[in-house]
Each structure stands twice: as structure tokens, then as C-alpha cells.
């Protein structure tokens, strides 16, 4: 599923640039994605749209989030730390944080890997038509082991 999401992020500037589900399914199949993987990604994206509509403008600018034990188990320490980092950097306001949490909780199994969480964050920005600044994009795309220390 995450490969399909990355493909959509890289090939469609905005969600409204994507064709309807039927045509998109054909295009993704032609590129080589499996039908179950495509369907899972499209269902997840439908949930993303619903979550964005639900959480838009709900929390105040300085709201605090206490994670449930189920969320804590599903995210794990590394992902919770990353969400906290994005919040403290001022790039993940409370409504977006809630969308990220909702969509991460929609991923079966757990805990969610940091790599998958980064894709979820990218897709939340994408779905809202926002682009993270260059430093955050670097954080989301470049693996820590691949960074050069100056």
C-alpha cells in the first residue's frame, strides 16, 4: 500500500489532480501494482479525505495530546517521538497531528514503522494541498544513515 501512496505523491501534484478511482485503478495496474494493494491504498485515501474533513479546525493552536495506551502501542516510542518533533518544530499543528494519528491507527498491525509514518505525514500534507518546507521534506525523505555529517 505504501508504494502506491508514494507513487501518487510523486506523480500527482494534488489529490484533485488524480483521476477517479476507476481510472486511477487502471493506471496503477498498468504501472504494475497489485489490485489488492491498489484497493487498500484507495480505501486508506478515502479515510484520509474523511479524516481531513472531520478534523479541520477542531483543535486550538495550543492543544495538548495525550495518547491512549492503544495509540502508544501502535505507534511505538520512535514514532511518538517523531510526531512530537514535528509538533515542536511547528510544522504539524494539532488538526494535522490528529489526521496523522487517525491514518496511522488505520494501518493494520503495529507498531507502525518510522518510514511508514513519514509517508503518512507526507500524504497528510499532500491531501491538504500543503507542501512542507525544505528542511522537513529532507527529514521525511532522507534516511538518517544516508546523511552526511559536516
Q: The whole model's pTM is what?
A: 0.85
Q: pLDDT, tens digit, for every residue of 55-74?
A: 766 655 667 788 899 999 99
Q: pLDDT, tens digit, for every residue of 5-22?
A: 999 999 998 888 889 999
Contact indicator for 76, 112 with CB cutoff of 8 Å: yes
C-alpha of 22 from chain center: 23
Long-range contacts of 127-135 (CB under 8 A, 24+ apart): 127/15, 127/45, 127/48, 127/49, 127/52, 127/99, 128/52, 128/96, 129/14, 129/15, 132/91, 133/91
Measure the CA–CA gap between 142 and 150, rounded to whole angstroms: 16
Amino acid at each position: 500500500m505504501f508504494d502506491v501512496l508514494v507513487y501518487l505523491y510523486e506523480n500527482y501534484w494534488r489529490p484533485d489532480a488524480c483521476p477517479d478511482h476507476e481510472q486511477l485503478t487502471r493506471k496503477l495496474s498498468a504501472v504494475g501494482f497489485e489490485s489488492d494493494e491498489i484497493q487498500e491504498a484507495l480505501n486508506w485515501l478515502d479515510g484520509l479525505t474523511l479524516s481531513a474533513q472531520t478534523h479541520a479546525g477542531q483543535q486550538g493552536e495550543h492543544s495538548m495530546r495525550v495518547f491512549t495506551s492503544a495509540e502508544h502501542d501502535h505507534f511505538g516510542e520512535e514514532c511518538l517521538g517523531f510526531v512530537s518533533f514535528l509538533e515542536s518544530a511547528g510544522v504539524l499543528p494539532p488538526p494535522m497531528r490528529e489526521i496523522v494519528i487517525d491514518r496511522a491507527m488505520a494501518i493494520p498491525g503495529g507498531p507502525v514503522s518510522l518510514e511508514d509514518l513519514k509517508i503518512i505525514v507526507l500524504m497528510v500534507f499532500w491531501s491538504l494541498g500543503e507542501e512542507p518546507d525544505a528542511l522537513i521534506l529532507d527529514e521525511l525523505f532522507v534516511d538518517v544513515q544516508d546523511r552526511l555529517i559536516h
